[in-house]
Amino acid sequence: MSRIDHAEASSQFIADRAHEAFHDKRLWELRLKRDATRDEVPEWPQLRDLASAIKEHTLSHLAQYLEQFEARAKANGAHVHWALDGEEHNRIVADILSQRGATTLVKSKSMLTEECDLRPYLERRGISVVETDLGERIQQLDNEPPSHIVVPAVHKLRGDVAALFGQALGSDAGNDDPQYLSEQARQATRPLILGAAAGMTGANFAIAETGSFVVCTNEGNADLGATVPPLHIASIGIEKLIPRFEHLAVFVRMLSRSAIGSPITQYTTHFRAPRPGSELHIILVDNGRSARLGMADFWRSLKCIRCGACMNTCPVYRRSGGLSYGAVYSGPIGIILNPTFDMRRYSNLPYASTLNGSCTAVCPVKIDIHDQIYKWRRLMAEHNQLPFVKRTAMKITGRLLADPKAFRRTIAVTDAALEHLPRFLLYTRFNAWGKQREVPVSPDGTFHAWYLKNRKVAP
Amino acid sequence: MSSRERILDAVRRNLPPVADVPAVPVFEEDDRTSLWPRFCAGLERMGGRLVEPATGADLEALCRALFPDAAVVCSATPEIAGTRSAAAAARPHDYDDVDVSVVRALFGVAETGSVYLDEAALVRPALGFLAQHLIVLLDPADVIANIHSACHRPEFRDAPYGVLMTGPSATADIEGVLIRGAQGVRSLTIIAAPRR
């Protein structure tokens, strides 16, 4: 697959001023709300330490916890399946459905099923799939992937949704009142839930001790999908495990506060066993996770609870939009997850960062996100994955920095050139700095010249 | 080798350095008198409505007064008859026409303003989601401090289905505008009602 050009995709996003400005403002608002709810919890730093430690403990004992989870889930009456990759996951879902003659599936939001590209797989086999989360439904109707892991349609404005619903749901395309639009989605989705043969959810946490899992949502759609149809399928990444039920509290207390700045999601639902007369299927999915576990520099990314706080705080994400990452996961967490799936395709992503470390600072499970971004840059260079311009520039810079005399000559010449060169020579495609801003005015002399003149102690 | 074995095998090969599991404190505050006010503040913040009737008030009449236009009031509590018993449903879909459901919470959580309902309280879980509006009876004495305390409750840990419900269903997926009443109930009313 071809290499994602994040910078190019971002420049298209930025070109639309209204969308870009709103996107930036909305996500920064979520970051500020997160700060406010965090400040209400005096033990927040302790919770972060605990969450990180619980996750690292679980990951270092993952095989035994997976086995314990499976045994307990089976004892609860659930069916447990294992999927090596997205393809196997999709096949398992399709088999469960077709064995029961089910052709309609309602699902709640799950990044894992996005990873597996489940929807087109099922649709090719004659199974209709309906996303029930509002943002995810908007994205499904618009034939776009989610642009954010918590708020999938955050890059859209109300007018976009009005036009889309007018076309797809037959609502009044001229009415862009969010209350009206949400009501349209509610009315259109409800009969689909009532008529569905099966419901599907992801899971935020899977508990080894109880063989159960917890789903955190706000709209009530996941509970409807899981409790109205007679068949519930839950897809769970193997990194979602935590050892004991009491550990759940640490994560639940931080998840929604980190994500959208609310103390808890409207619904925190614990599924342990199938309802009488219904079936519960759990699919444990690897899809690259066991390999990531073995990467010394990157295994800690498996601690991620998908809150999106790193995205909301990231200046590059806020100004470039999630779709520009060309991947299931965007923002800082996407930068460190995506290359584990395809290093070449996502080789540009580690440069979509200022390395300011804000992502690491807000992460509730203390993933060293910006350090991992830096390490990915190094790996990309080592594997010759740098684009030509960057590679050449780095090579020349490296040589100059290694040779003080050549460096001084070049600086003097460059300063003079910056002052006198015409714009069309300065602002070329090789000058990334000058794309959206003016090149700074160069000083009258170099620091070295100034130092020699004023301090007079030459080395 | 099955996928199960291949996954477990790969996981075992790649396990990172062993880390110990920490003990998790419950972070409870000592002041039990603040539990109810904290619960009420949390509930209001998340869009729920609180009704505190006088001792011995007629709950049946209260429910009618709260939702005078409701045609179908489906109750899962002995205190309120409504127009229909939740136990009468043959399948979850039968709750489709319910205007107001009435259930009793097992406990409330002061930290977040949440109420806990299991499938015994709901008869069928869908009762709490397919209805247009939900009334939850809660004994103020059943309010506990925080989510840690909740996760230590066996009725949460061991229930086949259980939900911590905090306010009505909500979404802010269009331009961040908060809408109460997304896919689940449009409103959540908590009635302070000591257990009989």
Tokens, residue A79: 């069916």
The encoded tokens of residue B113 equal 């303003």
Which amino acid would we find at residue A74?
K
Shared domain check, A247 and A104:
yes
Q: Does residue A159 share a domain with residue A205?
A: yes
Residue numbers in A near B18 (CB within 8 A)? 60-61
pLDDT of the residue at B66: 98
Cβ-based contacts of A271 with chain B (< 8 Å): 160-161
- pLDDT of A374 over the 90 cut: yes
User: Which one of A218, A231, A298 would you mutate to disrupt binding with B, by most B Cβ within 10 Å of its Cβ?
Assistant: A218
- Residues B68 and B94: their CA atoms lie apart, in Å, by 22
Q: Residue A394 pLDDT more than 80?
A: no
Classified as helix, coil or strand, A406 is: helix
Q: Which residues of B118-146 are buried (b: 16+ CB within 10 A; e: fewer)?
A: bbebbbbbbbbbbbbbbbbbbbeebbbbb
Counting one residue from chain A and one from chain B, the pairs whose CB atoms sit within 8 A come to 251
Q: What is the pLDDT of residues A120-145, one digit of tens each?
A: 999 999 999 999 999 999 999 999 99
Instruction: State how far the alpha carbon of A415 is from the alpha carbons of A418, A431, A445, in Å.
Output: 5, 15, 8
Task: Tell me: pLDDT of A338 over 80.
Answer: yes
* CB burial string A189-220: b at 16+ within 10 A, e below: bbeebbebbbbbbbbbbbbbbbbbbbbbbbbb
CATH topology for the B31-192 domain = Rossmann fold (3.40.50)
Question: What residues of A are in contact with residue B27 (Cβ under 8 Å)?
Answer: 43
Contact A220, A255 (CB under 8 A): no
Top-confidence residue, A429 or A127: A127
Q: Do A219 and B170 touch (CB under 8 A)?
A: yes
Q: How far is CA A182 from CA A33, A138, B75, B180, in A?
A: 23, 10, 28, 10
The count of C-alpha atoms lying within 13 angstroms of the C-alpha of A251, restricted to the half-sphere facing its C-beta, is 29
Tell me: do A447 and A421 sit in the same domain.
Answer: yes
Name residue A407's amino acid.
F
Whether A227 sits inside 8 A of B129 (CB atoms) is yes
Residue A406 has pLDDT above 90, yes or no: no
Q: Looking at A287, A320, A349, which one is the last position of a domain?
A: A287
Nearest Cα residue in chain A from B48: A266
Task: Identify whether A267 is part of a domain.
Answer: yes
Mean pLDDT of all residues belonging to chain A: 94
What is the pLDDT at residue A457?
A: 64
C-beta atoms of B24 and A43 within 8 A: no
Mutate to test the interface with B, among A54, A150, A260, A266 (most CBs of B within 10 A): A266
Task: Determine contact, residues A244/A208, Cβ cutoff 8 Å.
Answer: yes
The reported pLDDT for the residue numbered B25 is 97
CB contacts of A56 in chain B (<8 Å) are 16, 19
Q: List the single residue in A57, A63, A267 with the smallest CB-CB distance to B8.
A: A63
| pLDDT tens column, A76-103 | 999 999 999 999 999 999 999 999 999 9
Measured at the CA of A144, the angle between CA A140 and CA A148, to 5 degrees, comes to 95
For position A290, what pLDDT does the model report?
A: 98
| Chain A residues with beta carbon closer than 8 angstroms to that of B160 | 76, 271-275
Residue B45 confidence (pLDDT): 97
Contact assignment for A248 to B151 by CB distance below 8 Å: yes
Which among B124, B183, B187, B188 is the top mutation candidate for probing chain A, defined by the most A β-carbons within 10 Å of its own β-carbon?
B183
Closest approach of chain A CAs to the CA of B103, in angstroms? Answer: 16
Average pLDDT over residues B147-156: 98
Q: What is the pLDDT of residues A271-301, one digit of tens each?
A: 999 999 999 999 999 999 999 999 999 999 9
Helix H or strand E encompassing B43: helix B35-45
Rounded-to-integer distance, Cα B42 and Cα B144, Å: 13
Nearest beta carbon to residue A182 from set B6, B125, B182: B182
Q: Could you tell me if A399 and A372 lie in one domain?
A: no
Tell me the backbone φ, ψ of residue B189, rounded to 5 degrees.
-115, 125
Helix (H) or strand (E) holding A55: helix A44-60
The H or E element that residue A115 is part of is helix A111-116
Q: Going by C-beta distance under 8 Å and a sequence separation of 6 or more, which residues neighbour residue A384?
A: A391
Q: Which residue of A has its CA nearest to B151?
A: A246
The verdict on residue A301 lying in a domain is no
Using the predicted structure, report yes or no on whether residue A458 has a pLDDT greater than 70. Answer: no
Query: What pLDDT is stored for residue A423 in this prediction?
Result: 75
Q: pLDDT confidence of A349, banded at 50, 70, 90?
A: very high
Cα nearest neighbour of B112 on chain A: A263
Residues A113 and A224 in one domain: yes
Q: Which two tokens stand for residue A199?
A: 């419901």
Of the candidate ranges A13-22, A157-166, A446-455, B17-26, the one whose mean pLDDT is the lowest: A446-455
Residue B135 distance to chain A (closest CA, Å): 15
Residue A20 domain flag: yes
Chain B CA closest to residue A26? B176
- Do A262 and A249 fall into the same domain? yes
How far is B86 from B75, CA to CA, in rounded Å? 5
What is the pLDDT at residue A395?
79
Return d(Cα A271, Cα A278) in angstroms, integer. 13
**Which of A368, A386, A404 represents a domain boundary (last residue)?**
A386
Alpha carbon of A201: minimum distance to chain B alpha carbons (Å)? 14
Query: Which pair of structure tokens corresponds to residue B129?
Result: 């989601």
Can you tell me which residue has the tokens 């035994």?
Answer: A64
pLDDT bucket at A339, cuts 50 / 70 / 90: very high
Considering only CA atoms, give the Rg of chain B. Answer: 20
Tell me what ipTM this predicted complex has. Answer: 0.98
A45's tokens: 């730093």
* Nearest residue of A to residue B120, measured between CA atoms: A275
Q: Which of B14, B115, B174 has the highest number of chain A CBs within 10 A, making it the mutation to test binding with A?
A: B174
Domain membership flag for residue A225? yes
* Same domain? A171 vs A279: yes
Same domain assignment for residues A67 and A14:
no
Q: Please report which confidence band the pLDDT of residue A392 belongs to, taking 50, 70 and 90 as the band edges.
A: confident
Task: Give dist(CA A125, CA A104) in Å, integer.
Answer: 11
The H or E element that residue A33 is part of is helix A17-39
Q: What is the CA radius of gyration of chain A?
A: 25
pTM, two decimal places: 0.93
Q: Which amino acid is at A1?
A: M
**CA nearest B47: which of A169, A262, A113?**
A262
Whether A366 has a pLDDT exceeding 90, the answer reads yes
Instruction: Answer yes or no: is A295 within a domain.
Output: no
Instruction: Verify whether the Cβ–Cβ distance A284 to B7 is below 8 Å.
Output: yes
CB contact at 8 A, A29 and B176:
yes
Instruction: Answer yes or no: is A88 within a domain.
Output: yes
Q: Which of A76-85, A316-325, A393-402, B98-107 has the lowest mean pLDDT?
A: A393-402
| pLDDT bracket for residue A446 (50, 70, 90) | confident
Q: Residue A439: its pLDDT value, please?
A: 77
Per-residue pLDDT at A319 = 96
Q: Is the confidence at residue A1, as pLDDT, over 90? A: no
DSSP-assigned letter for residue A127: -
Shortest Cα distance, chain A CAs vs residue B138, angstroms: 17
3-state helix, strand, coil in chain B (%, to 5): 30, 20, 45
pLDDT-based confidence at A400, cuts 50/70/90?
A: confident
> In CATH, what number is assigned to the domain containing residue A191?
3.40.50.10420
Q: A279-285 and A79-83: which strand pairing?
A: parallel
A159 and A255 part of one domain: yes
DSSP B85-149: EGGG-SSGGGGGG-SEEEEE-SEEETTTTEEEEEHHHHSSTTHHHHSSEEEEEE-GGGEES-HHH
**Inter-chain touch A60–B15, beta carbons under 8 Å:** yes
Q: A139-189: per-residue pLDDT in tens?
A: 999 999 999 999 999 999 999 999 999 999 999 999 999 999 999 999 999
A100 and A219 together in one domain: yes
Contact check, Cβ <8 Å, A179/B151: no
Q: Which domain covers residue A251, as residue numbers?
A: 41-287
**Cβ–Cβ contacts within 10 Å for residue A34, how many?**
25
DSSP symbol at A66: H
* Residue A459, pLDDT above cutoff 60: no
- The percent of residues in chain B predicted with pLDDT above 90, rounded, is 96
Burial class of residue A1, CB neighbours in 10 A (0-12, 13-18, 19+)? exposed
Which residues on A lie below 8 Å from B94 (Cβ)? none
pLDDT beyond 70 at A48: yes
Residue with tokens 């799950």: A110
**DSSP structure class, residue A250:** H
Are B179 and A54 a contacting pair at CB < 8 A? Answer: no
Q: Indicate if A71 and A182 belong to the same structural domain.
A: yes
**Number of domain units in chain A:** 3
End residue of a domain, out of A351, A386, A421 = A386
CB contact set of B61 (below 8 Å; sequence gap of 6+): none
Name the DSSP letter for residue A447: H
Residues A421, A438 share a domain: yes
Confidence (pLDDT) at A418? 74
Using DSSP, state whether A129 is helix, strand or coil: strand
